[in-house]
Chains A and B, each alone.
Chain A
């Protein structure tokens, strides 16, 4: 016997790919046999630990299923919230306005309507007016 099995040969033994010489060595060498058994035991421990962990996590998943489109729902909710906030600013219905405020709103609407009419009257959109022949 020239020495114990190295990492490579121990690994091959665990994989069941040991050479005949290594098999004979393992049969005769309790140190190397213990190394192989210890490695196999660690791998079995890994298997059982991962399975136990997964079972526990999966039970949590089953009890609290994740919505399929959570990101889309979140983005949609935020968009709706933003829209509602804008509407609340523009039309403060939650705080009944005084008559002066209503008059201001009417006035703003009239301005807006005038602006829209002016824009519609343009031959081309404002940004393209520079392209028109002079």
Chain B
């Protein structure tokens, strides 16, 4: 990626019209937003809708972006809110169940023995299954941390939670996931 676009990605210089290239921002961040929405909702159509809505909201709210956090954190914050609203609406539309998407287990620990790959595959599936049943906020911080690789401060900025709250949710999520991974049903 070119240096100029890197500047755009890390900060949204709204006053600097030359730096404002929303098309490149969409191109760069839309797949990430889609991925987080897909992992959260496990439905391609919903994830696509969230990614589109997120970019539309970001475009209309661009003037409000002050650069206090990174562009990714800001966009993730918008996505977190959209996903939350979407899940609430989905709970109301109980007749419209989305298909449960299984996690494709290819390329897990490639190059190791078939046995170790099988064991790891089973563990990853357990983690994936456990994550689905986490409470909403725990699942959000869990996915932001372990799928999106965001640190505690970034997650706090994206979710609007305090740093300590993020840590608490993350710890509870991880404890539950590990417990279920080891065959437990409740924590």
A residues lining the B interface (CB < 8 Å): 7-8, 10-12, 14-15, 17, 38-39, 41-43, 45-58, 60-61, 66, 68
Contact = CB atoms under 8 A, between A and B. Distances in A.
B171 A54 contact: no
Interface residues of B, number: 39
B48 interface: yes
Contacts, number: 97
B124 A58 contact: no
B31 A49 contact: no
Given A10-B178, A17-B171, A39-B181, A53 B48 contact: no
18 contacts: A10-B178, A11-B175, A12-B171, A42-B123, A43-B146, A45-B120, A45-B127, A46-B128, A48-B107, A48-B108, A49-B105, A50-B39, A50-B103, A52-B107, A54-B38, A57-B38, A57-B44, A66-B48
Binding site of B, secondary structure by majority: helix, strand, loop or mixed? helix
B48 A61 contact: yes
Given A38-B123, A43-B146, A60-B44, 19 more contacts: A8-B171, A15-B167, A15-B171, A41-B109, A42-B126, A45-B108, A46-B103, A46-B124, A48-B108, A49-B103, A49-B107, A51-B147, A52-B104, A53-B104, A54-B34, A57-B38, A57-B47, A61-B44, A68-B52
